[in-house]
Amino acid sequence: MPVPLPALEDHPLKDAALQRATVLYTDLDGTLLARGARLLADAAGEPWLGTAEAIVALNRAGLTCVVCSGRNRWQLMEVSRLLGWDSYIAEVGCVIVPGRGEEPIYHTGSWGPDALHGDETPYEAITRVGALDVLARVFAGTIEEHAPWHLNREATHVLRGNVPLAQAQAALDTLSLPVRIVDNGIIHPPVHGLIDVDEVHAYHLIPDGVHKSDAIERDLTRRGLGRMDALAVGDSATDVEMADAVGLGVLVANALDDERVVESAAGRTNVAVTHGKRGEGWTELATAWLTARKSVQEPS
Binding site for Mg ion (CB under 5 A): 27, 29-30, 185, 235-236
Q: How far is the CB of 69 from Mg ion (least distance, A)?
A: 7
Q: How far is the CB of 34 from Mg ion (least distance, A)?
A: 12
Q: How far is the CB of 112 from Mg ion (least distance, A)?
A: 31
Tell me the residue ranges of DSSP E strands in the chain.
23-26, 64-68, 88-90, 95-97, 105-106, 143-145, 157-161, 179-187, 200-207, 230-234, 248-251, 271-273
Q: How far is the CB of 37 from Mg ion (least distance, A)?
A: 10
Q: How far is the CB of 213 from Mg ion (least distance, A)?
A: 15
Task: Please identify, using beta-carbon distances, which residue of 177 and 251 lies nearer to Mg ion.
Answer: 251
Task: Please identify, using beta-carbon distances, which residue of 29 and 144 lies nearer to Mg ion.
Answer: 29
Is residue 2 reached through a cis peptide bond, with omega within 30 degrees of 0 on the bond before it?
no
Task: Please identify, using beta-carbon distances, which residue of 93 and 185 lies nearer to Mg ion.
Answer: 185
293 phi and psi, to 5 degrees? -65, -40
Helices of type H across 153-204: 165-172
Task: State whether the Cα torsion 208-211-214-219 is positive or negative.
Answer: positive
User: Shortest Cβ contact with Mg ion: which residue?
Assistant: 30
Task: Please identify, using beta-carbon distances, which residue of 34 and 54 lies nearer to Mg ion.
Answer: 34
What is the DSSP secondary-structure string of 110-143? T--TTSS-TT--HHHHHHHTTHHHHHHHHTTTTE
Q: How far is the CB of 184 from Mg ion (least distance, A)?
A: 6
Task: Please identify, using beta-carbon distances, which residue of 150 and 223 lies nearer to Mg ion.
Answer: 150
CB count, 10 Å around CB of 218? Answer: 17
Q: Are 265 and 251 in contact (CB under 8 A)?
A: yes
Task: Please identify, using beta-carbon distances, which residue of 31 and 108 lies nearer to Mg ion.
Answer: 31
